[in-house]
Each structure stands twice: as C-alpha cells, then as structure tokens.
Amino acid sequence: MITKLKFNNAAKTQFLATTRQRVDQYFLDADESRNANAGMWVKTAIFLTVFFGVYALIISNAFSTWVMLPLAILLGVCSAFVGFNVCHDAIHGSFSSNKIVNKVLSAIFNLLGASPYVWSITHNIVHHTYTNIPGHDEDIDVAPGLIRLSPEEPVNRIQRYQHWYAFPLYGLASISWAFRKDYKKFFQPKVGQTATKHPKKEYFNLFFYKAIYYFLFIALPLMVLSITWWQFIIGFLALQIAQGFTMGLVFQLAHVVEGTDFPMPNTSGNIEEAWAEHQMRTTANFATSCPFAAFFLGGLNRQIEHHLFPKICHIHYGKISKIVKQTALEFNIPYIENPTFLTALRSHYRILKKFSLQA
C-alpha cells in the first residue's frame, strides 16, 4: 500500500516559479496586500450580518411557521456563503496577516456545523496536495458505494442511476458534516494515505463546539419556538439540505467535470509530473465572468488560482487569474474552465453519467 506519495518535482518546468514571480510582481506594482482589502471586509460584514440576522429572526419566535420555513432555507444558503467567503479564507490563513483574526473567523465554521480543525486537515493538507488522486483525496469519496466520481472506484449496479440521484444526495452534505463526517475523519488513523495525530486539546474542541452547534440549532429552537417537534424537523432539514446542496454542488464543479484528470501513481508510488502541473490538470474554473459568482462563491469558481495560491485572499483572484492563464498558455499547460455555471453543471452531469455507464 502507498504510504507517502511524491510528485516528480525533479522534472518540473519553470511554470510555477514564473507564475509566482509574476504574481509577486503584480502585488508589488499595485502596492497591495495579498490579504483582505476593504471590499473583502465589506463582503464579510454583509454575509455575517445576514447570517446572524436571519438566525435571530427565526429564534425570535415572532413569525408564523410559513415564514420561518423560507427563513430556515435562507439561513442554510447563507451558511454556505459564510463558509465560502469568510471561513474558507480564514482557515487557509489568507484572510488576514494577523493569525488572531484568522483564528476568530475560522471559529465561525463551528456555527455552520463543521470543525475548522478537521477541515484544515482534509482540505488544506490532503485535498490541496493530492487533488483528485483516488485513495488519497477523500474529497472525491462523496458517498462511497453510491456516487462514483473517479474511474478507479469500485463499480456496483446501483451506480447506473447516479446521474439522477447524485444531486439530491449532495443536499445531505451538511447534515453528514454535522453528525458524522467530522467524527469519522477525526478518529480515522489516516485521511487518504496521510497519517493523523491530533493534539489533546482538539479532542475537547471537537465535542465542545459540536455541543454548542447542537444547542443553538436544535435545543434552543425547541425550547423557545412555538412549534411542534415535526415542524422543527421539517425546518431543520430544510436548513441542512439548502446548506448541503449549495456546498456540495459548488465543490463538485471545481474538480469533477470534463477535462479534469484523476491520475494514479506509477509503479513506484509516485505521480509522474510536478505538483503545480498536477493542480492544473485536476482543477477547473467556472463562471469567471459572472459578478454574481464572484461575490457569492468566495473564489471557489476560481479554483485554479486558489490551488496555486491558497495563501492569497480570494478577493484578488480575478486580477491574478489573467497572469495564471497567460503563463499556462506560454508553458503549454491546460487551463480548464467552463464559461458559465450551467455549462459546468452540464459537464458534471456528463461525468456522472460516464461513470454510471461503466456500472
């Protein structure tokens, strides 16, 4: 079994070095920080105000159930947007040069039902290093046995219909995160093929912050709202499905679309290309000309720039993407992108159907 996968950096081109030099020069010429600017702080204030505001409206018990249901759905969507725009950058350490600011904003992730510590392992370390590599990148193991997102996954008969049922299953991503995924990942001896060993305080943090989330989103609503238990379940599920569907769909459109690779290690257990080239072949952008996507998706529609420069705040991706794309063309390296959200969605559907036909 592969224990430590390596990239063939001995044979790497000058693509990454050239791109980094040009991006560094851009920030020098613009006299601009790589971290959050005024526009980013405005976005953060908007998303956090809406998130906490909608929660306060629900918990106020001032509305009928017919009003609270759409509010619950809105809270779920807002939760995803807070994760995209605020927590994602903070956990990467790219929101601010101040570690305390990043830590405080990262902690908001707990209020979305997810552990920032577990995410930093599964996403920052494993996914960003071993993108789309079966057996290493667990982000492509969305629902093992049900959804097949790589050609190396085992095949079963039910997957013949995955292009129909995968999208509804994405809606369960948030509820899985809150009640299953974080615990499972935390207590696994390895994430992919990467061994994990946690500081003792993180055992306390995992259960403490989960308890806060369960209190705020389960116990407190049941105590203060004038609703029945079944009305609460409907509202809670509506929130979770809205959040999960928004998150799950956006994540898939960045890596599981036509043109992206799912490379396997060679017989020596290594990838036969440099890390930066690997990122370019396994990652895709979408809807990069859409102001709506730029504002709401927190740079997740510009995953190429994010994977090459995770320490740069997403507010700058629009500017540096021109540099990355031009440099990729010069070095004859693919720059995969879908022009709109819908073209990316159709491409993902075709990938699901392609892998379903093999079943």
- Environment class of 199 (CB within 10 Å of its CB; exposed 0-12, middle 13-18, buried 19+): exposed
Residue 168 · residue 162 · CB < 8 Å: no
Q: How much is the pLDDT for 196?
A: 86
Q: How much is the pLDDT for 12?
A: 58
Helices 162-170, 229-252: crossing angle, 10 deg rounding: 120
Instruction: Centre a 10 Å sphere on the Cβ of residue 81 and count the other Cβ atoms it contains.
Output: 23
Taking the whole predicted model, whether its pTM rises above 0.85 is answered as yes
Give 286-338 pLDDT, tens digit per residue: 999 999 999 999 999 999 999 999 999 999 999 999 999 999 999 999 999 99
Q: How much is the pLDDT for 1?
A: 43
Q: How much is the pLDDT for 10?
A: 56
How far is Cα 350 from Cα 221, in angstroms, rounded to an integer? 41
Instruction: Centre a 10 Å sphere on the Cβ of residue 201 and count the other Cβ atoms it contains.
Output: 10
Q: Write the CA distances from 115 to 3, 92, 209, integer angstroms.
A: 26, 14, 8
Please identify which residue in the block is written with the tokens 């991503």. 173
Q: How much is the pLDDT for 135?
A: 82
Q: How much is the pLDDT for 158?
A: 87
Burial 143-174 (b: 16+ CB within 10 A, else e): beeebbbbeebeeeeebeebbeebbebbbbbb
β partners of residue 230: none
pLDDT averaged over consecutive 10-residue blocks of the chain (359 residues)? 66 83 97 97 98 98 95 98 98 97 98 96 92 85 79 83 91 94 94 87 97 98 96 97 94 93 84 90 96 95 97 97 97 96 96 84
Q: How much is the pLDDT for 288?
A: 96
Helices 229-252, 65-82: crossing angle, 10 deg rounding: 30
Q: How much is the pLDDT for 3?
A: 55
H-helix or E-strand containing 309? none
Residue 286, SS3 per DSSP: strand
